[in-house]
Structure 1
Amino acid sequence: MRKFFLLAPAMLAACATATMAASYPPVHGVTPGHSCTTARTQRFIGRTRSQAVRTAIMRASNAALLRWAPPGVMLTMDYRSDRVTVHLNSANRITSIKCG
């Protein structure tokens, strides 16, 4: 029995899997090749929220992520240079577009 307790850590270590190098982009951080700019997005102010508008804003801003911000919704304060935030009014019309 005593030998079992002495060998148990070695047996458990043999069962452990080796850590592999991450081949996926990190969950947090900036998406390579994407940096948001709002210079070409102001034409969407006043438009109604839709999938087509979302796609067009993402193309115009070069953002990797788009975040809708309806009125009264709390947003995280973390800044991401690859994200565009689209603020909406109660009628789902765009009131402002900002990076971050």
Structure 2
Amino acid sequence: MRRTFLRPELSALILAPAMILAGCQGEADTCNSAGYSSLVGSNIAAVTLPADLNMRIIGPDDLVTTDFAPERLNIEVDATGTIQRLTCG
């Protein structure tokens, strides 16, 4: 029985994209960002959010802490205050 193997450089080229995509799979939405996805494109000044929502608004030049709080909603806005992205952390 003859076995054929991929050359190491070829296997790296084949496996790298699969591993990157696998890393994107299964991320839990621990802060319910999907529930607020309709806000993307809205101006933050025109949005009403629950008073007890664990969140932070991040502008383009804002410094943020590096602590990861999976239940916290990060609302990223551009220079005009338009919501660009929602993430957990």
Alignment TM class, shorter chain as reference: 0.5 to 0.7
Please provide the CA RMSD for this pair: 2.2
Identical positions, percent? 22
Which segments of 5 or more consecutive residues in structure 2 lack a partner in the other structure? 1-29
- Aligned match of 1:40: 35
Question: Map of 1:15-54 to 2, 5 A cutoff?
Answer: 35-50=30-45, 53-54=47-48
Structure 1 or 2, whichever has the larger Rg, is 1
How far apart in 1 are the matches of 2:71 and 2:38?
A: 20
Question: Map of 1:18-97 to 2, 5 A cutoff?
Answer: 35-50=30-45, 53-55=47-49, 58=50, 64-97=53-86
Q: Is the 8 A contact 1:54 1:66 kept in 2?
A: no
Question: After TM superposition, what 4+ stretches of structure 1 lie above 6 angstroms from structure 2?
Answer: none
State the aligned residue count: 60
Which segments of 5 or more consecutive residues in structure 1 lack a partner in the other structure? 1-34
TM-score by length of 1: 0.52
Match of 1:41, SS state, is helix
